[in-house]
Structure 1
Amino acid sequence: MEQQISRRVLIGGGVAAALGALVPSGAAFASTKPAGAGIHVDRVRGLSPDFAMGVDVSTVLSLEESGVVFRDAHGRPADLFRVLAQNGVNSVRIRVWNNPFDDVTHQGYGGGNVGIARAVEIGRRATRAGLGVLVDFHYSDFWADPARQLAPKAWAGISVAQTARALHDYTVQSLRAFKRAGVRVTAVQIGNEINNGIAGYTRPGMEIDGSFAALLEAGASAVRSTLPQAKVVVHFTNPETAGRFATYAAGLRRYRVDYDVFASSYYAFWHGTPENLTSVLTQVSRTYGKEVMVAETSWARTLEDGDGYGNSIGSADQAPEYEISVQGQADALHDVIAAVAAVGRAGIGVYYWEPAWLPVGPPTDYAHNSALWEKYGSGWATSAASSYDPANVGPWYGGSAWDNQSLFDWDGTPLESLRTFQYVRTGKR
């Protein structure tokens, strides 16, 4: 997903206002919840008790440092992870960047500034709330996705063989930090949306080659030796492209890459139908004996902008598949869960991407917001990230392009769409 945040904002014409500084009381935000609204959700049959009802909340520490307050259903300040658990979430996905800080100024690059220490702290809090943890290694110092797989600064210019060794050792060291902290890591993702490469290595076309496979195997072997109980996850995107996932899975088998779960991103506004998603994941599962999941999904609840920085989905024309509303969020999330469950026992979970990435302040307070994004990394990128990734960040750094897809109101109160994770097990009318 990460590539699409920046690219959509760029394509939108540098809509770069910036994301806002929070008034601690939340009183500056007008509620976007319809009075007395309720949602309906059909039951998804056949869900196993351990089906991952997950969320990625990797920006949480930066948001809290910027003054964002999360609340329970009654509007009282509450720990985000407790609120998630109370609403049916059972797992948290945490992205990890090698060194998301400028070597000279030490300013963070943004997006939560999630180096290993901060990732472990998020994992510790999730574990205390009774949630499992999926660790998402990007093997980059900032966003990794199909459009960019930048090598970490420390690995720049080294050979593929040297990168494989560095990747292995870094993965071991990082997972040991999670282990020492008592984090309940249930799965480890070796790379993020790795369609075209990983850790600075890129390849043309969809065919997997030996160098790419060697890098994946380095990560997989690190997981096996450090946390043998954790599932090894590979993560791709664009399931709508005919033959893509079948080609990837065939290449992984050809080079004997050791993994357990084949994961996909799935955003209905970009990635085709739920029926196609079920079809391509079923093909991978049945042909290669792998479990499957959706590692990222979301939907917009409003077309309003919460922080002054333009949104990735800013018009109904960009997202005609569902209603733009809290009910639309519930419908979209339900359908993704149902699509993965339809694969059968091999369909093991769905993660909603950044449902708590809230505005740090109202869109009218851009100067204050911008200062917070820069100081705490609570926007998608800071000015410091431009030197690391000039092509994708450049002058377009700033706030969140995702606030209108949150499962929380902008004052931090959970929306009923968050409870979809519960309702798919029971139904809600």
Structure 2
Amino acid sequence: MKYLYVFIGLILIVSCNSSDLKNNEEEQDDITPPDPIATFYKGMDLSFQSELETYNINYRDETGTVVDLLDFVEDNGTNLVRLKLWHTPQNGQNSLTDVKAYAQRVKSKNMAFLLDIHYSDFWADPGTQTPPSAWQNMTDIEIRTAVYTYTKDVITQLKNQNTLPEIIQIGNETDSGFLWNYGKVWDAFSDNWSNYAALVGEAIRAIKDVDTQDEVQIMLHHSNVENAIYFFTELEPFSLDFDMIGLSYYPQFQTKNLNLVASKVNELATTFEKDIFMVEVAYPFTLDWNDNQNNFIGNINQTIPEFTPSPEGQKAYMEWLINMIKTIPEDRGKGFCYWAPDWIAFSGNESTSTNGSAWENQCLFDFNNKALPAFDAFRIN
């Protein structure tokens, strides 16, 4: 009888343990693993670096100690670098060779890489979208083939050297389309959206044919926060397969109403269900200049009343911008990219209008090449 009680006890213990184990397994099945923490990109457009490095510029930290620029920005919070690509640049800068070389350095720092394909031999923006010289006088079919072939070759070369971009931008500030007049959607070509969409579609197809693991985020870029809704509304019927809306915000050219900026950005995110990336931003730390070239900002009326053109005002602007992006609904705000933080008066303060910077008062380094307080905004997680 004693052994019978022991046997029954063992059965009860095993039964209870089995029941507990089953309950634990059911509870674990009900637990949904948390989503990975999304990266918030704090970027810089360093497209000038392949040229500026030839001038042996001494960038300095806040104490005045000379630093390597890429090392310094990475150590102080920058986690993405944007590089522009021109097809056949006349001055040799921003060629695919340049981009490939600098992309390797970016990736070696474990930083993300944003590729800005201009589809031009020089600057492309809302007022200038000139096709590469090699693509002049093509038919519509021929230029679509050229877009596909060129894009696929670029992305293939980058992938083959293990520098596949995290984000690829199809065209630069394409408010008026690109590759004029093939993809122009402005003025007499305002009904040309189908041709523009077809060209963009070929670029997207080329990227996806190389990026078979769907690792790359595809961006379309508009230069104006206020007017971008019209642009993306016109594109919507074509169901283009892109991920991000890229925006420029320069207060000297756009509204200075901060509430309007935030509301328009939020409207873009919710209307089109796309992520938002403020891909070109900047603000002056002074209205003075450090060479003999005129600057893009030199008047108090070009600035935002809430932020003085001073080192602390520049920092405060960046803090506002980051907060605005992070509060976009549904976590659609993915980051920002400061444009040309390194484009200082590289030939000294006697440089002329043909060999100077129009941007030195909007850099993130002062006139002694020392890092400014705005870097604090990059250091915040």
- Shorter chain as denominator, the TM-score bin is 0.7 to 0.9
1:58-97 C-alpha deviation (Å, 9 max, x unpaired)? 0012111022122344433332111111111111111111
Inter-CA distance 246–303: structure 2 relative to 1 (3 Å threshold): closer
Residue in structure 2 matched with residue 118 of structure 1 by the alignment: 98
Helix, strand or coil for the counterpart of 2:264? helix
Helix, strand or coil for the counterpart of 1:361? coil
Counterpart AA for 2:64: G
Residue in structure 2 matched with residue 170 of structure 1 by the alignment: 150
2:313 corresponds to which of 323, 328, 335: 328
Residue in structure 2 matched with residue 156 of structure 1 by the alignment: 136
Residue in structure 2 matched with residue 136 of structure 1 by the alignment: 116
Residue in structure 2 matched with residue 247 of structure 1 by the alignment: 230
1:288 corresponds to which of 272, 275, 281: 272
The offset of 1:255, in angstroms, is 1.0
Counterpart AA for 2:281: T
State whether residues 100 and 141 of structure 1, in contact with CA within 8 Å, keep that contact through their aligned partners in structure 2. yes
Q: Which has the larger radius of gyration?
A: 2
Counterpart AA for 1:58: S
Residue in structure 2 matched with residue 216 of structure 1 by the alignment: 200
Residue in structure 2 matched with residue 353 of structure 1 by the alignment: 339
State whether residues 208 and 251 of structure 1, in contact with CA within 8 Å, keep that contact through their aligned partners in structure 2. no
Distance 1:162 1:76 in 2: 53
Counterpart AA for 2:314: Q
With the length of structure 1 as denominator, give the TM-score of the two structures: 0.74
Helix, strand or coil for the counterpart of 1:232? strand
Residue in structure 2 matched with residue 279 of structure 1 by the alignment: 263
201-210 or 175-184, which moves further after superposition? 201-210
Residue in structure 2 matched with residue 407 of structure 1 by the alignment: 364
The offset of 1:414, in angstroms, is 1.6
State whether residues 252 and 302 of structure 2, in contact with CA within 8 Å, keep that contact through their aligned partners in structure 1. yes
Residue in structure 1 matched with residue 219 of structure 2 by the alignment: 233
Helix, strand or coil for the counterpart of 2:60? coil
State whether residues 207 and 251 of structure 1, in contact with CA within 8 Å, keep that contact through their aligned partners in structure 2. no
The offset of 1:415, in angstroms, is 1.5
Counterpart AA for 2:160: R
State whether residues 95 and 138 of structure 1, in contact with CA within 8 Å, keep that contact through their aligned partners in structure 2. yes
State whether residues 347 and 356 of structure 2, in contact with CA within 8 Å, keep that contact through their aligned partners in structure 1. no
State whether residues 193 and 235 of structure 2, in contact with CA within 8 Å, keep that contact through their aligned partners in structure 1. no
State whether residues 221 and 245 of structure 2, in contact with CA within 8 Å, keep that contact through their aligned partners in structure 1. yes
Counterpart AA for 2:273: G
Distance 1:315 1:283 in 2: 31
Counterpart AA for 1:333: M
Count of aligned positions: 336
State whether residues 208 and 252 of structure 1, in contact with CA within 8 Å, keep that contact through their aligned partners in structure 2. no
Counterpart AA for 2:46: V
Matches within 5 A, 1:45-84: 50-84=39-73
Inter-CA distance 182–72: structure 2 relative to 1 (3 Å threshold): farther
1:258 corresponds to which of 213, 218, 241: 241
Distance 2:285 2:191 in 1: 37
2:375 pairs with 1:418:
yes
1:366-419 C-alpha deviation (Å, 9 max, x unpaired)? 3xxx6xxxxxxxxxxxxxxxxxxxxxxxxx744221111010123433212122
State whether residues 264 and 295 of structure 1, in contact with CA within 8 Å, keep that contact through their aligned partners in structure 2. yes
2:292 pairs with 1:312:
no
Distance 1:64 1:197 in 2: 33
Helix, strand or coil for the counterpart of 1:85? helix
Residue in structure 2 matched with residue 23 of structure 1 by the alignment: none
Counterpart AA for 1:341: K
86-95 or 219-228, which moves further after superposition? 219-228
- Which structure has the higher relative contact order (CA within 8 Å, separation 6+)? 1
The offset of 1:207, in angstroms, is 6.4
Gapped regions of structure 2 (runs ≥ 5): 1-36
Gapped regions of structure 1 (runs ≥ 5): 1-47, 102-106, 371-395
2:85 pairs with 1:85:
no
State whether residues 58 and 122 of structure 1, in contact with CA within 8 Å, keep that contact through their aligned partners in structure 2. no
State whether residues 311 and 401 of structure 1, in contact with CA within 8 Å, keep that contact through their aligned partners in structure 2. yes
The offset of 1:350, in angstroms, is 0.8
1:28-59 C-alpha deviation (Å, 9 max, x unpaired)? xxxxxxxxxxxxxxxxxxxx651111110100
User: % of aligned pairs identical?
Assistant: 27
The offset of 1:305, in angstroms, is 1.5
Residue in structure 1 matched with residue 186 of structure 2 by the alignment: 204
Residue in structure 2 matched with residue 14 of structure 1 by the alignment: none
The offset of 1:343, in angstroms, is 1.1
The offset of 1:156, in angstroms, is 1.1
Helix, strand or coil for the counterpart of 1:68? coil
State whether residues 290 and 360 of structure 2, in contact with CA within 8 Å, keep that contact through their aligned partners in structure 1. yes
Inter-CA distance 69–181: structure 2 relative to 1 (3 Å threshold): farther
Inter-CA distance 324–229: structure 2 relative to 1 (3 Å threshold): same
Say which structure is richer in helix. Answer: 2
Distance 2:266 2:301 in 1: 30
Inter-CA distance 148–361: structure 2 relative to 1 (3 Å threshold): same
